[in-house]
A = this chain, B = another copy of it.
Amino acid sequence: MKPSVTPISSRDKILEVAEVLFARRGYAGVGLREVAEQAGLGKSSLFHHFKSKDALYGEVLGQVLGRIRAVLDPIVGSDVTPELRLEAWVDGLVDVLATYPCAARLLMRALVEDDPFGPELLEVNAAEQVLAGILEGIHGLLDDGVRQGVFRDMSIPHSVQTLIGATVYHFASGEFGENLLGQPLVSSDAVRRHKTELVRMLQHGLLA
């Protein structure tokens, strides 16, 4: 019998704990000592797997963005009306953000940074590319809808911003959001509710 928990490589373990820590306290708020401790390694051993803190951060970000893109790409490429595609896009994004609770915070932190992705670094540029792909997808989706007359005329960039804000921020809001809601952000009830509210807002606004 194989062990029920597959042992993972040190590299993956580092990525795993770094993801949690960067999400919780941001790039500058995390020291590699703590990452190493939680990964069960000496601090210096990190540098065997990642050549710098920036590189580690870039890989963490790229990994998270990759998971998101893997969910959204099939949706924007699917063969249904823009209206249904948008609904599925929101549904998929909310699901993936609720599934990986670090994702929203990492992404929100990155988007709010001055220089969104840090230095000119291989790992970092890769992450940027993935994000660009995601944006292209939702931009194209909205554009389709407008050109087919399904969506009203709109400023697509502003609507993309609104979509990001309404979805990513919500799951990035941590304790604050949970206090507001009175329940965990990722509880199945809260997730369902949030989807409903978003879709209704996108379809008909707030008016009765």
* Chain A residues with a Cβ under 8 A of chain B: 24-29, 83, 86, 105, 108-109, 111-116, 135, 145, 149-152, 154-155, 157-162, 164-170, 172-177, 180-182, 193-194, 196-198, 200-208
Contact = CB atoms under 8 A, between A and B. Distances in A.
Contacts of A196: 155
A70 to B, nearest CB: 21
Please give the count of copies of this chain that the complex contains: 2
The binding surface of chain A is classed by DSSP as helix
Contact of A25 (B28, B83, B205): B28
A26 B173 CA distance: 16
Contacts of A157: 180-182
B176 A111 contact: yes
A157 B185 CA distance: 11
A207 B206 contact: no
Contacts of A166: 161-162, 165-166
Contact of A152 (B173, B182, B207): B207
A203 B207 contact: yes
Given A111-B174, A151-B208, A168-B169, 4 more contacts: A158-B194, A159-B201, A165-B167, A165-B168
Contact of A198 (B152, B162, B198): B162
Contacts of A151: 206-208
A176 B170 CA distance: 19
Contacts of A109: 112
A201 B204 contact: no
Contacts of A176: 111, 116
Contact of A208 (B150, B155, B174, B197): B150
A193 B155 contact: yes
Contact of A83 (B24, B83, B207): B207
